[in-house]
Structure 1
């Protein structure tokens, strides 16, 4: 009995460690509200893909719609980052969530009244992209303001990923059934109402007002300062470069999922939902893996390894011709993609100067989401010429090559990050030459 009690206490302690960021009230509110809203978001993503493919029957059109929805993030992301550093991030998030809710309701009205066309979807995707250009860097930067103890920041980022991918696990599987039951318009309507949860959570927060430095420089001057800061520092440049490559060549597999589900695996909306859910399950496992880590040290190796895992998963998915094997490969892809993205976010949020946080997070959004429209367009065009499986396989090989490239640069990048980690107390300061030698041999992770 005593041993059982001890084991139970250890288990509870383990769960408390995994969920430690939820001890912060504002973050707990955000986590609850966003968890509901993200399920609705995934309903809309799956329903939009299925609607466009049903209306057009074209893999190229899927790529074009993805391009329309993500291009604004690439074009406006850097400028948005400058404004995020200037504005109140909490108020900005309330505005973006209200606008996103109205966009979902517009989709619902058009779909439920039978007037929706691919043209309407394209324009409303552009509107959502404009909203996301400001929402993504604001959301990423706002995490720091919700977490009083900076040591819990990596855990909060990991929980954000688990929240996103938990919704990704539930949303697509539910979407497959809802599309058949209430149609795409019903999914859009549910998504619109789901935004009320995150808006309510934002309004319920109690935040300490943080004075912001008055900016006298021109926006373009601050933008140039942000570019110089990010791209002249090799570790940031390498992380953003690998993330951009993965997004450009690997992430567009999602826009080809309706083709894979219907033509390659000979399924329907349920098959599409199961494939997306399998990817979400793998990603959720990746989020738990990151939440269990006690330090940001070693994330360089993690980023390289999981980018390679994502690439291998894509190649295996492209070669699969039966649903069970495809579900396994999708779980592998989800794990690799999520951990690469979240670990990159954690490293960048850890080493960035506070005054540059909004701008760097806009570059992160541009690398993660902003390059995706070009990838979606490229994937749609390639799929029309060589087929969806070959297109996905080529993207997987590109991700593998990118991981190898960063792995070769990793020792030098660790040396450049080490002083920042020492200043933050993540690794101990070197006290003597003997300690320096010992630690440089033993500290192979950064």
Structure 2
């Protein structure tokens, strides 16, 4: 895998662009804190980019399945670079609406680039190396988040927001250039001459019978929900914890702690789940995530907040590479683009709802009641899925019941 030229180019581009992405996210948070007081409105603006993904995902999935993935990544790269100039306008005119345009363009780019990269990985690495590749992918993104947030924080101390987003632009340009060096052989796909428009229900109708036959995929989808409950409000919770402790420095500590624990989690995923990613272990990891969320009730104590984020990072670092590998291996490759696009669309809807809910709860019931409510919800979701899984297992063991007269 480490001698695979395409894989190294893809990971290099991901490392550089992800670092720039997180530098930009720190800039986003700084811009919002200066211009928007309400946590709920901050969440609305952050989520603006996801809205476009909801409408484009079905079309994006079909295009990705039937087009050259490298070209899609190149076009998405151009859009990502162009988006930075809208953020320059937002800063120059101190106008939040230009930031909304920026997030929309970034959202369009992500709607195509993220599923395209996930479908490209199985094309450039061997099947037995997929778990390692997904682990490396997640580790690079996590390392970039640590470096990017630290770099963004340092830059904000003595530099302007223009400089922060210039670093982000440079990283996107490097990613775009590196994409031109990819050389991936793809089998030509048949074009759809039916003339039917792409939409969510048509694509879902095509995917449903495929996914239904793969129980690991179905359970994997639902097991991600408790992790999404935590991730959707990640940035807003970090801001709130910083205010609770009256300590701006805790932001970087929480990001770093969670990131280091993600590294450990991905190592554990490769060690214990390489050959057989058992769902029973996945349930245990989901309960750990619920525990991490609930323990944030003590987040006004620095040590407890660090432990909570560390526990979540450990569990998430184990869960996500394994579940992604299940999706890539269990779903037929001809449906990868549509599957990952629809999954990304559903993820966006979930993230929108949960982030808006997080912002609303922070403004109304407060941080402590919110984390207890979300934590209990995670426990309930994991328990219901586990009981259903156990009941199905018991039915399979009993087999068909003989009918006697």
TM score, norm. by length of structure 2: 0.89
Separation in structure 1 between the aligned mates of residue 209 and residue 373 of structure 2, nearest angstrom: 32
The residue aligned with 2:376 is: 397
How do residues 176-215 of structure 1 correspond to structure 2 at under 5 angstroms?
176-215=153-192
The residue aligned with 1:388 is: 367
CA deviation digits over 1:294-342, x for unaligned, max 9?
Answer: 6251342343222222221122123221223322221212222333332
The residue aligned with 2:100 is: 122
The residue aligned with 2:117 is: 139
Greater shift, 136-145 or 258-267, is seen at: 258-267
Separation in structure 2 between the aligned mates of residue 125 and residue 381 of structure 1, nearest angstrom: 21
Count of aligned residue pairs for this structure pair:
395
Aligned 8 A contact 2:78 2:176 in 1? yes
1:163 and 2:130 correspond: no
1:243 and 2:224 correspond: yes
The residue aligned with 1:93 is: 73
How do residues 6-405 of structure 1 correspond to structure 2 at under 5 angstroms?
21-111=1-91, 113=92, 115-147=93-125, 149-217=126-194, 218=196, 219-220=198-199, 221-230=202-211, 233-244=214-225, 246-247=227-228, 249-268=229-248, 270-293=249-272, 295-405=274-384
Separation in structure 2 between the aligned mates of residue 185 and residue 389 of structure 1, nearest angstrom: 36
CA deviation digits over 1:143-177, x for unaligned, max 9?
Answer: 11221x22111111111111111112222122222
CA deviation digits over 1:173-230, x for unaligned, max 9?
Answer: 2222222221333222101100122222221122224222333343354552124433
Separation in structure 1 between the aligned mates of residue 156 and residue 336 of structure 2, nearest angstrom: 40
TM-aligned CA deviation for residue 107 of structure 1:
1.3
Separation in structure 2 between the aligned mates of residue 291 and residue 53 of structure 1, nearest angstrom: 39
Separation in structure 1 between the aligned mates of residue 161 and residue 391 of structure 2, nearest angstrom: 50
Separation in structure 2 between the aligned mates of residue 71 and residue 22 of structure 1, nearest angstrom: 37
The residue aligned with 2:400 is: none
Separation in structure 1 between the aligned mates of residue 25 and residue 220 of structure 2, nearest angstrom: 27
- 5+ unaligned residues in a row in structure 1: which ranges? 1-20, 419-435, 437-446
Give the 3 Å change call, closer, same or farther, for CA 35–267 of structure 1 in structure 2: same
Separation in structure 1 between the aligned mates of residue 71 and residue 209 of structure 2, nearest angstrom: 28
TM score, norm. by length of structure 1: 0.81
TM-aligned CA deviation for residue 123 of structure 1:
2.7
- 5+ unaligned residues in a row in structure 2: which ranges? 398-405
TM-aligned CA deviation for residue 244 of structure 1:
3.9
Give the 3 Å change call, closer, same or farther, for CA 287–381 of structure 1 in structure 2: same
TM-aligned CA deviation for residue 231 of structure 1:
5.1
Separation in structure 1 between the aligned mates of residue 33 and residue 209 of structure 2, nearest angstrom: 42
Give the 3 Å change call, closer, same or farther, for CA 293–99 of structure 1 in structure 2: farther
Give the 3 Å change call, closer, same or farther, for CA 99–259 of structure 1 in structure 2: same
Q: Secondary structure at the match of 1:23?
A: coil
Separation in structure 1 between the aligned mates of residue 304 and residue 284 of structure 2, nearest angstrom: 22
Separation in structure 1 between the aligned mates of residue 109 and residue 8 of structure 2, nearest angstrom: 24
Aligned 8 A contact 2:262 2:313 in 1? yes
Aligned 8 A contact 1:243 1:367 in 2? no
TM-aligned CA deviation for residue 385 of structure 1:
0.4
> Which 4+ stretches in 1 moved above 6 angstroms?
412-416
Give the 3 Å change call, closer, same or farther, for CA 197–353 of structure 1 in structure 2: same
Separation in structure 1 between the aligned mates of residue 316 and residue 368 of structure 2, nearest angstrom: 18
Q: Secondary structure at the match of 2:364?
A: helix
